[in-house]
């Protein structure tokens, strides 16, 4: 599956050229109403083999308009991945009925993972059949949230995500977990296609939004910023700081290139004249994908 090539338009019209998005996606749909809702078709519970058979129970109006159903796409537990953790935390924070949420988990191999009940389908990297099934599953929800990293989808630079979006008839929100300041031409095309074909693009910082606008031809009105972070912990320290106590700087989580750890090491080294001198602690396992590629050489 190749990358659709077209010049994105931001005037509310369809893209010019031969992109599959022209016939499959609405570039101006922001109403949150899916094709199934417009036709008044009640959803049926999907029965994908090998999963929890927990597809959405019905359209919002079939439930008396009480609840939105959401599909999610990304890596997911038990995969060791920051994006998988993010998706699980996001779902937990939504406070929706569990039966209103379903996850399409991105995997490298079919039926190799024991999934939690929230997972309703697998999308196997490079598998056309699983892509088609993932689209069918997701189209039974009211909207879908796609977690985007170049490395988790099939195709060059994860270009297969464009085909998935092209097959969706519901509102699509894409959360960008990496916004490159200097993308390759192919990476740039993928992000521009995503921005032109989905309903909202989420950047996780103002810096990411600025990079997105500077390095890509995208409609700024489609981009929203939702800060990636944690609740502020402003409670008083349980233990008073001891005078002269060595400051500790901590990086924790899965470790690999692109985390900025090398820059942090260089920065801390420039603080050697401080007294007491700060200590920099790097705590965590090497990212499983890095281990697969080069073992523990990065450490």
12 lies in some domain: no
pLDDT tens for residues 204-238?
999 999 999 999 999 999 999 998 776 666 666 66
The residue among 191, 225, 259 that closes a domain is: 225
70 lies in some domain: yes
Handedness of CA 46, 36, 171, 63 (dihedral sign): negative
Domain with 283, as residue range(s), is 248-294
Q: What is the dihedral of CA 225, 89, 81, 283, to 10 degrees?
A: 100
276 lies in some domain: yes
Domain count, the chain: 2
- Do 186 and 286 reside in the same domain of the chain? no
33 lies in some domain: yes
- Do 138 and 262 reside in the same domain of the chain? no
- Do 52 and 104 reside in the same domain of the chain? yes
pLDDT in tens, the chain (299 residues): 444 433 333 333 333 333 333 334 433 332 332 333 323 222 223 333 344 433 443 344 334 455 789 999 998 888 777 788 888 888 888 888 888 999 999 998 887 778 889 999 999 999 999 999 999 999 999 999 999 999 889 999 999 999 999 999 999 999 999 899 899 999 999 999 999 999 999 999 999 999 999 999 999 999 999 987 766 666 666 666 677 778 888 887 777 777 788 888 888 889 888 888 888 888 887 766 666 666 677 77
239 lies in some domain: no
- Do 262 and 211 reside in the same domain of the chain? no
147 lies in some domain: yes
- Do 107 and 255 reside in the same domain of the chain? no
- Do 129 and 50 reside in the same domain of the chain? yes
pLDDT tens for residues 247-274?
888 887 777 777 788 888 888 889 888 8
At CB < 8 A and 24+ separation, what contacts does 158-161 make? 158/190, 159/1, 159/2, 159/3, 159/186, 159/190, 160/1, 160/125, 160/126, 160/131, 161/190, 161/194
- Do 169 and 276 reside in the same domain of the chain? no
């Amino acid at each position: 599956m190749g990358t659709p090539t077209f010049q994105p338009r931001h005037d509310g019209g369809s893209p010019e050229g031969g992109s599959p998005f022209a016939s499959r996606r609405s570039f101006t749909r922001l109403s949150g109403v899916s094709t199934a809702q417009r036709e008044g078709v009640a959803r049926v519970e999907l029965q994908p083999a090998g999963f929890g058979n927990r597809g959405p129970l019905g359209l919002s109006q079939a439930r008396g308009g009480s609840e939105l159903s959401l599909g999610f796409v990304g890596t997911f537990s038990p995969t060791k991945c920051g994006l998988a953790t993010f998706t699980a935390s996001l779902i937990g924070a939504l406070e929706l009925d569990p039966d209103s949420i379903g996850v399409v988990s991105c995997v490298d191999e079919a039926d190799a993972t024991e999934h939690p009940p929230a997972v309703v389908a697998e999308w196997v990297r490079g598998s056309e059949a699983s892509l088609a099934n993932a689209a069918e599953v997701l189209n039974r929800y009211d909207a879908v949230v796609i977690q985007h990293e170049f490395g988790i989808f099939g195709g060059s630079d994860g270009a297969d995500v464009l085909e998935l979006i092209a097959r969706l008839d519901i509102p699509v929100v894409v959360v960008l977990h990496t916004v490159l300041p200097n993308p390759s031409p192919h990476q740039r095309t993928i992000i521009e296609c995503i921005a032109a074909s989905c309903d909202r693009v989420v950047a996780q910082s103002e810096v990411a939004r600025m990079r997105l606008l500077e390095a890509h031809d995208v409609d700024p009105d489609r981009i929203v910023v939702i800060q990636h972070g944690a609740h502020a912990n402003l409670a008083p320290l349980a233990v008073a700081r001891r005078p002269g106590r060595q400051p500790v700087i901590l990086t924790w989580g899965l470790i690999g290139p692109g985390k900025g750890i090398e820059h942090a090491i260089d920065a801390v080294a420039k603080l050697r004249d401080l007294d007491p001198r700060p200590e920099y602690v790097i705590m965590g396992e090497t990212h499983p994908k890095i281990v697969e590629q080069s073992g523990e050489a990065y450490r």
